[in-house]
């Protein structure tokens, strides 16, 4: 492979040139938000885009890196903010860096044993996610929340564990402000 450069639009989060645009709508995240009735009522009328992410496809090999940018739209399902699905890495002993580019949000991280850590992410805030920590981003603002991610080429994604338990904590809006509540569906896998 030859070295290359790309253009990254900090405001929209778009990478150019890119190979893949992934669009996650509410119907792709069924059961991930706590308020099932709010989800059902919204889906009766529309199927909102929750987030999009843009990738340049690189070899899924040790030694390479994967690059992606994500834009989470502002909004809520019930009182729970729009968020990514979240995942552990398939090769769980791999790490990741997230860098905030626009808007404001929160990074939720956890281990399968239930150790939990959150961080506020704004433009210029760089977060290091160590090996074994699952990660999800949440848009707590009223504008698109944009961030860049870089991780090992062969890390892969494990969505299944998060689909079955969710995260330890859930971010909801109360009195106009973000508030963590315990996730009743959470259970330890480790
Ligand atoms: O690699 C990452 O962690 C990110 O690029 C995410 O894949 C992206 O933000 C989309 O989130 P998810 O993969 O949890 O749907
Ligand atoms: Ni990741």
pLDDT in tens, 65-87: 999 999 999 999 999 999 999 99
**What is the pLDDT of the chain when averaged over all its residues?**
96
Q: b/e per residue, 22-59, with b = 16+ CB within 10 A?
A: eebebeebeebbbbeeebeebeeeeeebbbbbbbbeee
Confidence of residue 188 (pLDDT cuts 50, 70, 90): confident
Half-sphere exposure of 92 (CA within 13 A, CB side): 12
CA distance 105 to 82: 10
Backbone angles phi, psi at 124, to 5 degrees: 90, -10
From the alpha carbon of 136, which atom of ligand 1 is closest? Answer: 14
Ligand 1 centre distance from Cα of residue 48 (Å): 18
Confidence of residue 190 (pLDDT cuts 50, 70, 90): low
Report the percentage of the chain scoring pLDDT > 70. Answer: 99
pLDDT of 107 higher than 70: yes
pLDDT of 189 higher than 90: no
Closest ligand to C-alpha of residue 53 is 1
pLDDT of 8 higher than 90: yes
Ligand 2 centre distance from Cα of residue 45 (Å): 32
pTM for this structure? 0.97
Which residues line ligand 1 at a C-beta cut-off of 6 Å? 53, 68, 70, 84-87, 96, 135, 149, 151, 157
Query: Looking at residue 44, what is its pLDDT?
Result: 97
């Amino acid at each position: 492979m030859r070295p290359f450069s790309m253009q990254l639009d900090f405001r929209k989060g778009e990478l150019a040139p890119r190979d893949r645009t992934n669009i996650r709508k509410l119907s792709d995240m069924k059961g991930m938000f706590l308020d099932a009735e709010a989800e059902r009522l919204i889906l009766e009328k529309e199927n909102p885009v929750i987030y999009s992410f843009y990738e340049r496809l690189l070899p899924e090999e040790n030694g390479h890196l994967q690059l992606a940018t994500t834009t989470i739209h502002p909004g809520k399902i019930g009182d729970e903010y729009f968020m990514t699905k979240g995942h552990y890495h398939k090769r769980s002993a791999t790490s990741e860096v997230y860098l905030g580019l626009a808007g404001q949000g929160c990074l939720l991280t956890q281990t399968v044993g239930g150790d939990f850590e959150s961080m506020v992410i704004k433009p210029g805030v760089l977060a290091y996610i160590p090996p074994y920590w699952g990660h999800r981003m949440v848009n707590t603002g009223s504008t698109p929340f944009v961030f860049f991610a870089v991780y090992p080429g062969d890390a892969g994604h494990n969505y299944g564990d998060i689909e079955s338990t969710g995260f330890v904590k859930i971010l909801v809006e109360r009195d106009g402000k973000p508030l963590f509540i315990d996730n009743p569906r959470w259970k330890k896998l480790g």
